[in-house]
Structure 1
Amino acid sequence: MCCVAFSFLLAVSAGAARADEMIMATDDWPPFRISEGDTFIGLDLDLMDEVARRTEAELRIAKLPWGRALTEMQGGGVDVMTGLAFRPDRAEYIAYTDTPYFRCTTAFYTIKGQADKIRSYEDLAPYQVGYVLHSAYFERFDKDRSLDKVGVAQEQILIDMLMKRRFGIMIGTDCQVDYLIKRQGFADKIEKAPYNPGNSVDLYLGVSKKSGWAAKLDELNRVIKELVDEGFIDKIAKDYYGTHS
């Protein structure tokens, strides 16, 4: 497992780093990005450590809230982000690699014994639905202004609020939420609803279009595809899941 120290960049908006330096903006999103003191570990860190090695880059980590990280990508204050689902509005300032490095799906979660009530999208209407701000789930949900949505900063907060019955349903990306639920011993307290939108949440490496690395997108495309084709992602996923998710 990779362990990378991070620095709080006090002037990230001053412009991206030199072309041989790669600033990765990130926050906590286990098991992909796990903050441990002044270091990060996780699947994404293992991935980016290898990307940096193959592109001869010096990887630096900027720990930023997700929304702030997107803002810095827009302004060119950081170079790259991982765990990005494709969204057209983000594509205006982020260049996505061609190949996703991981695939998840969207799921709805309730307190155990309540999930059977959610068998269709329409069944969400009577409930408050917790979600993570600035996240992309699936188009119908993302654009739906009729639902009573409660936005929070992180999935961990969603789980805590669901356990306290602060809302009836939460939405999440299964490859991250399932990991948290299992690790925290909530597998017998929280369950998935039968309704599943059936979408694929593909996770990409994204490059700020104002970064010097945008000119090297072809090289990054090649490296990401190599890592997927070689089974590198499957191998590091086993370190965190025990098996590929």
Structure 2
Amino acid sequence: MQWIPAQVGTRGTRRGGWLLAFVLLTLSPANASEPCQKNLRWNDDPPYSMLLADGSVRGIHIDTHTTVLERLGCKTVLRKLPWARALRELEAGRLDILPGAFRRPEREVYAHFSGSVLPPARNLLFTHHEAIGNWPADSLQALAETPFRLGAQIDVLYGPDYLQLMSDPAYAKRVAMVSQRSSLWRMIARGRIDGAIADEHTGAWEIQQLGLANVITATHIVVSTEAAEVALSKASNDLAFVAAYTAALQELVSDGSYQQIVARYLTP
């Protein structure tokens, strides 16, 4: 089925000529009356997607992509799926849109990718307010030469710099390993370790929720960065819809709406 927006009018005109172009391209008597409805994946991953106390599902990814679909005149249906199953459902066409996906050759067989529209996901070093002043550095490797005490999650990979450090048995022995990231924040607050690595948005949200924003801060040290994209199932999305979706997502960034969504969850 080709895509046709459910609503076209002055609102669409404001979003630019690209929307009208795709409407004309895909319009036909056979599909003009078919409503646009897309399945969007979510899971418990604050602040990107989460179940709120009022029973609603919200978060940076949810607000971003429901807004894009609304601008395209599409209804959003949320599906809670663990990551591995989400990929299988995307391949089968039972899941239409999967945010936060990294482009891999095996995934390109069954998914279109939006390209790097949203800012890259960065892993930052978070430290106690006093720690980074005690040992000023501009990289994780530079801190390895100091008494800085790092904490990390078991079986979590933070990028090549971290892997290089952990390949040294003497350094790896110094790193405090725990299963839950919340334990790392509490260990920093209590002075048991000096810092930990986390996704910049996830770390900021969790620290804020724990009431530790006045104790723990994100540093300028970027441990790793890789641009995630939006994966759209080839089985349920044609190229016209993928192009329109990508354009609408880009506009969300350009007009400041995406930054407002991020601030909604990360501003104290």
Question: Normalised by the size of structure 2, how large is the TM-score?
Answer: 0.62
| Residue of structure 1 in register with 2:237 after alignment | 213
**CA 1:88–1:109 in structure 2 vs 1: closer, same or farther (change >3 Å)?**
farther
| Residue of structure 2 in register with 1:62 after alignment | 79
The amino acid across from 1:53 in the alignment is E
**CA 1:237–1:169 in structure 2 vs 1: closer, same or farther (change >3 Å)?**
closer
The amino acid across from 1:223 in the alignment is A
Equivalent of 1:130, from 128, 140, 153? 153
CA contact (8 A) 2:151 2:184 kept: no
* Structure 1: tracts of 5 or more residues without a match: 1-17
| Residue of structure 1 in register with 2:182 after alignment | 159
**Residue 233 of structure 1 pairs with residue 258 of structure 2:** yes
* Structure 2: tracts of 5 or more residues without a match: 1-33
Q: How does 1:123-202 map to 2 (within 5 A)?
A: 129-130=152-153, 138-139=159-160, 141=162, 146=167, 157-164=180-187, 170-192=196-218, 195-197=221-223, 199-202=224-227
Structure 2 Cα separation of the partners of residues 145 and 221 of structure 1: 38
How far apart are 1:101 and its partner, in Å? 2.6
How far apart are 1:60 and its partner, in Å? 0.8
How far apart are 1:188 and its partner, in Å? 4.1
User: Which has more radius of gyration?
Assistant: 2
> Percent sequence identity over matched residues?
18
| Residue of structure 1 in register with 2:118 after alignment | 101
- Count of residues in Structure 1 that have an aligned counterpart in Structure 2: 218
Structure 1 Cα separation of the partners of residues 183 and 86 of structure 2: 24
* 1:63-85 superposed Cα distances (whole Å, 9 cap, x missing partner): 12334333433444412122334
Indicate the structure with greater helix content: 2
The amino acid across from 1:240 in the alignment is Y
* 1:83-138 superposed Cα distances (whole Å, 9 cap, x missing partner): 334455544544221342344422123566655669544456996632685x7x54
Question: Normalised by the size of structure 1, how large is the TM-score?
Answer: 0.66
How far apart are 1:218 and its partner, in Å? 1.4
Equivalent of 1:27, from 34, 39, 43? 43
Indicate the structure with greater strand content: 1
